[in-house]
Amino acid sequence: MRAGANTRVHVVSDVHGNTEALARAGDGADALICLGDLVLFLDYADHSRGIFPDLFGVENADRIVALRTARRFDEARDFGRQLWQGMDRNAAITEAVRRQYAEMFAALPTPTYATYGNVDIPALWPEYAAPGTTVLDGERVEIGGRVFGFVGGGLRTPMRTPYEIGDEEYAAKIEAVGEVDVLCTHIPPEVPELVYDTVARRFERGSRALLDAIRRTRPRYSLFGHVHQPLARRMRIGATECVNVGHFASTGRPWALEW
């Protein structure tokens, strides 16, 4: 890795099955950072893509997206339960996720530093992460002389995605990271402009503990994804530049940090 002013890092989040672009994401960089959501369960922009339409067809994908977008979560869950009747849900999802992980982890360059998204299944990552991929959650690492902290997963929501945890557990991971130069998380700090998705037309869950840590420890950058079409892609909170890098699935372009 080049040192000092020559260090360049590319950052991606919300890959959601875009393996082809992921294979190129580290080109020209000293390291790749991935902030999770490798899995594509259902593409809200193209309802024909993902595990759900593969299992149940596009028409059913259209319906469940409409229910969720209307925030009719109970109806969406009831509809989902009807579709899953007679099937081993866990086995079907795990098999599909394994296929996606096999392709995506094989595409990651060396070195990659990664943490989990809310739709990821952390228990499967050790099977697919090669020696050149370092998985961090509530942990720190030095890259090119700067300290990066990583906190993965999301907070609990009515969507009940695989890696959602309680507020206290999440706050403990933020606390464990401590003071860093760059704070890397899957979800954004709890700021309305950063958590509102303009296409899904809803506020996603951001972290108050993350916001408090940004104000208290003043990292140079707070990098995150999760909200695919945010009202604001970047803003300053005190001394910290907050940047949403969660556009990778649609654009295929990483965000570059150079120093």
User: Does residue 224 register a pLDDT over 80?
Assistant: yes
How high is the pLDDT of residue 175? 98
Cα distance between residue 125 and residue 138, in whole Å: 16
How high is the pLDDT of residue 248? 92
Angle between helices 208-217 and 167-177 (to 10 degrees): 20
> Are the C-beta atoms of 38 and 129 separated by less than 8 Å?
no
How high is the pLDDT of residue 3? 47
For 21, 103, 186, 193, the CA distances from 152, given in Å and listed in that order, are: 22, 21, 5, 21
> Are the C-beta atoms of 141 and 113 separated by less than 8 Å?
yes
Give per-residue pLDDT as tens, 34-64: 999 999 998 888 899 899 999 999 999 999 9
Higher pLDDT, 199 or 20: 20
pLDDT mean over 170-187: 98
How high is the pLDDT of residue 5? 60
For 13, 71, 100, 120, 128, the CA distances from 124, given in Å and listed in that order, are: 18, 30, 11, 9, 7
How high is the pLDDT of residue 202? 87
pLDDT mean over 198-210: 92
User: Does residue 211 register a pLDDT over 90?
Assistant: yes
Cα distance between residue 57 and residue 169, in whole Å: 37
Provide the whole-model pTM.
0.91
User: Does residue 26 register a pLDDT over 50?
Assistant: yes
User: Does residue 1 register a pLDDT over 50?
Assistant: no
How high is the pLDDT of residue 259? 96
Give per-residue pLDDT as tens, 58-117: 999 999 999 988 889 899 999 999 999 999 988 999 999 999 999 999 999 999 999 999
How high is the pLDDT of residue 160? 87
> Are the C-beta atoms of 113 and 150 separated by less than 8 Å?
yes
Cα distance between residue 63 and residue 30, in whole Å: 43
133 - beta bridge partners? Answer: 112
Strand stretches in 158-204, DSSP E: 164-165, 182-185, 196-197, 202-203
Q: Which of 205, 213, 182 is nearest to 115 (CA)?
A: 182
